[in-house]
Structure 1
Amino acid sequence: MTYPSTNDYLRETVLSATPAQLVTMLYDRLLLDLARAEAAQSEENWVAAGAHLLHAQDIITELANSLDVDAWAGGRDLLALYTYLGSRLIAANVQRDVRITRECSEHLGPLRWAWLAAAEGLASSGTPTAEQGIAVVA
């Protein structure tokens, strides 16, 4: 008997996720990258810190690129925040500054919880609406 691998399970999870759940997953990974980068920076392991910060930048770019700024009133503000955070992640990496990494985590933590609440709200109510903030994901 063959058992599914962790990668198989992860692929199926992603393929079956709603757009809101996918955004939440991106935030989860983004915050994990930042926690790992912070730990690596604290240990002065700049190679590992850089790798985690670069992956975090990739996620911010993906979130920004998938954002439909016209779908809801806060779309442009969220894009501005993503742009700011992208530049701060670059600074955290170049300057090797753990305080900047923490700053990014502090901005992103509440957003992750907001997306999680929205995703859970959608799961119980059905169709996404712009008022629920989910229509921002293409």
Structure 2
Amino acid sequence: MSLLNSRISEYNRNAVLSATPSQLLTMLYDRLLLDLSRAQLAQREERWQAASTQLIHAQAIIAELQSSLNVDEWDGAQGLMALYVYLNTAMINANINRDQALTAECIQHLEPLRQAWVQAASAGQSSASQGWGVA
């Protein structure tokens, strides 16, 4: 591994270790959407193995989001869980059937969610910096 790659890896590791829970969540969404965008491009170019790799990684992120979702904490959690289940199934089908439309559909569902989490995290940081946050 080159020195540059080693430094980048160290930087990424430190970013994750020092991130707040809301920052970690937005990082997961960022990576999830990156994986799906890469899968979509690979599907367009008929690079099926590359698409499969990206879709499988995206499924792993969805599984992590599902496992960390506490459905007893808030009213919308059941709906979000149902969406995660649907997206996971859609990604499996996009992979098996080489279905670009399903990959695009997953992106369409996730982009607004990512934006909502980014806004919520930003609002939480703003409140915390004003002394209104809950520890």
Structure 1 segments unaligned to the other structure (5+ residues)? 130-138
Structure 2 segments unaligned to the other structure (5+ residues)? none
Partner of 1:92: 94
The counterpart of 2:53, out of the listed 51, 54, 63, is: 51
What is the aligned-residue RMSD (CA, Å)?
1.6
The size of the alignment, in residue pairs, is 128
Aligned amino acid, residue 119 of structure 1: A
Partner of 2:75: 73
The counterpart of 1:39, out of the listed 32, 38, 41, is: 41
For the residues of structure 1 that align with 2:33 and 2:117, how far apart are their CA atoms? 13
Asked whether the equivalents of residues 122 and 128 of structure 1 are also in contact (C-alpha less than 8 Å), the reply is no
**TM-score, normalising length: structure 2:** 0.91
Matches within 5 A, 1:93-132: 93-126=95-128, 127=133
Partner of 1:16: 18
Higher helix share: 2
Partner of 1:135: none
For the residues of structure 2 that align with 1:105 and 1:128, how far apart are their CA atoms? 32
Q: Percent identity?
A: 54
For the residues of structure 2 that align with 1:79 and 1:49, how far apart are their CA atoms? 25
Task: Give the Å deviation of 1:77.
Answer: 0.5
Partner of 1:27: 29
SS at match of 2:71: coil
Greater than 4 Å deviation, 4+ residue runs? none
Higher RCO, 1 or 2 (CA under 8 Å, sep at least 6)?
1
Describe the superposition over 1:30-69 as per-residue Cα deviations: whole angstroms up to 9, x where unpaired. Answer: 0000000000000000000000000000000000000011
**TM-score, normalising length: structure 1:** 0.89
